[in-house]
Amino acid sequence: MVPQLKVFSSYMVTFVVIACAFWMASFGFFFDFFRVEDANVLFNRSNYTDLPPFFYYQGYASIPAQLVAHIVAGTLPVFQSFIYIFSALVIFCYMSVLLLRATGFSPFALLSIGVVFLFGRTFVYNLTYSLWPSAMVLSLFGYLALREDRGLKSNEATIACFLSLASPLSLFSAIPIYVVALKSRTVPSILAALASVLAYPILIEHGGRGGAEQLISTLSSNFQIISQSPSLIFPVLLDGFAVERSFWAILFGATQSFALISTILIPLLYIAGFRCKPIEDLVPFAVGCLCIFVLAIASRNLGDRPPAFRYYFPSVIFFGAVLAQVKINFPQSILRLCGSVVLVFWTFETTSMMADRGLDNFFALTEFKYNKSKLFGEGTAFFTINNYNRPRSQFYIALGNGTFSGDYCTQYGRGLEFDFQIFCSGSNVILFSLDGGIVNVLRP
């Protein structure tokens, strides 16, 4: 008989997950700050324009992220970076703890979180991407309540109401909460369900990219592409996949494929008559994740490119909950220890690659201080930080003392060269060129 390692309890598992998340976020702070839209959509916009704090981007609004960016705008950039990262980290850690609780601190939940660390580190510390863990918090609230045959608690409902404003995805991620509200009929559950439903029309840009007509058109086009090439959404189906690709590529494709398959399979099992309690509890969660995936691929044309990992993120979290139903006749403490070791290894694997970037960008960020007598208009001194490793990237971070009026916002076509960009709203941006550090607005 294998002896139990009682010291490796659920508290230790939680500590390992949070410690790994903090470790990764600290590397994000030094090497990967203001990643992607955190740069031009949140930081540049909130610091260098007089535009309203809340806006639509890519057809939707994300109130919590935009609120955080607005509150800290004008402070030291390095402080803003810290707040962006810390805010995202808190949401991710909270989601992770909920997943552990909902799965009985299963080692499979650890592996699910580890896959995110390995292939989707921006979910841990990127404020823009925090909308995805926020959506999963709603699903996990409902799933946990269903498992425990209860309604939502008051604190859960309060958090759910706030995080419902993170993105339109909350309409679907809250499907388990809708089921809980119907079953329990408690006030907190009903309020959380109503908040998720009412948030959707507020957060969607009507008539824009998030409009129903545009979504249906894009979805129809993408379904035709997928029907001709299923490997676009199921990478494990690629010919010669296991032979021609590296171990990490195989793991990446297999995780995405089987995670998505699990969201399809669980509802099918329920329809086929397999209605034990674990499956009944998982069905609303699965339907929510599947709806999110469909909405995500309806938001942009795939072409010949597979969906990004973020579209699979809900399914990966759900997959951890599904695998946790597998009962292994082996001491759980040892399995948790093994899962924790893998999680730590994958965390260090990712952060070691991040450290290769060096600290030059971070030092440039810390050395910059805003001029208290803020200058306005063109011709002021600016410089940019390229923290995205792409030339002429729209995600350059701008550092300077100019504030530009919304009158400069114009719709530009592709192909125009620029040095940095400030997002305005919809398809409107302000593009800038730098000449010896002096900024000039590019006009059509």
Question: 197 and 163 in one domain?
Answer: yes
Q: Give me the domain span that covers residue 212.
A: 10-31+76-355
Helix (H), strand (E) at residue 198: helix 187-203
Q: Is residue 68 part of a domain?
A: no
Indicate whether 384 and 286 sit together in one domain: no
Residue pLDDT, tens place only, 121-144: 999 999 999 999 999 999 999 999
pLDDT in tens, 224-236: 887 777 777 887 6
Kindly give the residue spans of alpha helices, DSSP state H, lying in 73-153: 77-102, 107-119, 122-125, 131-147
Question: Residue 155: which of 207, 200, 94, 209 has the closest Cα?
Answer: 94
Enter the tokens of residue 407.
Answer: 């009158």
Return the beta strands (E) in 183-337 as ranges.
none
What does the pLDDT read at residue 5? Answer: 46
Domain end position, chosen among 355, 381, 401: 355
* 86/205 same-domain check: yes
Radius of gyration of the chain (CA): 23
pLDDT band at 415 (very low <50, low <70, confident <90, very high): low
Do 324 and 416 share a domain, yes or no? Answer: no
- What is the pLDDT, as a whole number, of residue 211? 59
pLDDT score of 335 more than 70: yes
- CA–CA distance, 64 with 73 (Å, rounded to integer): 14
Please determine, for residue 185, whether its predicted confidence score (pLDDT) is greater than 60. yes
Percent of the chain with pLDDT over 70: 87
Query: Is 41 a domain residue?
Result: no
Please indicate, yes or no, whether residues 376 and 323 belong to a single structural domain of this protein: no
Spatial separation of the C-alpha atoms in residues 28 and 133, rounded to whole Å: 17
More confident residue, 367 or 150: 150
What whole-number distance in Å separates Cα of residue 352 and Cα of residue 332?
30
Q: What percent of the chain shows pLDDT beyond 90?
A: 45
Q: Which residue has the higher pLDDT, 117 or 391?
A: 117
Which helix H or strand E contains 121, and what residues bound it? none
Is the pLDDT assigned to residue 245 strictly greater than 60? no
64 located within any domain:
no
CA-based nearest residue to 89, from 20, 43, 190:
20
One domain for residues 240 and 113: yes
Query: Residue 243: its pLDDT value, please?
Result: 45
| End position of a domain, from candidates 355, 387, 415 | 355
CB 173 within 8 A of CB 135: yes
Query: Which residues is 442 bridged to in the sheet?
Result: 431
Question: What is the pTM (predicted TM-score) of this model?
Answer: 0.91
Are the CB atoms for 411 and 440 separated by under 8 Å? no
Residue 193 has pLDDT above 80, yes or no: yes
Question: Is 60 among the domain residues?
Answer: no
Q: Do 420 and 302 lie in a common domain?
A: no
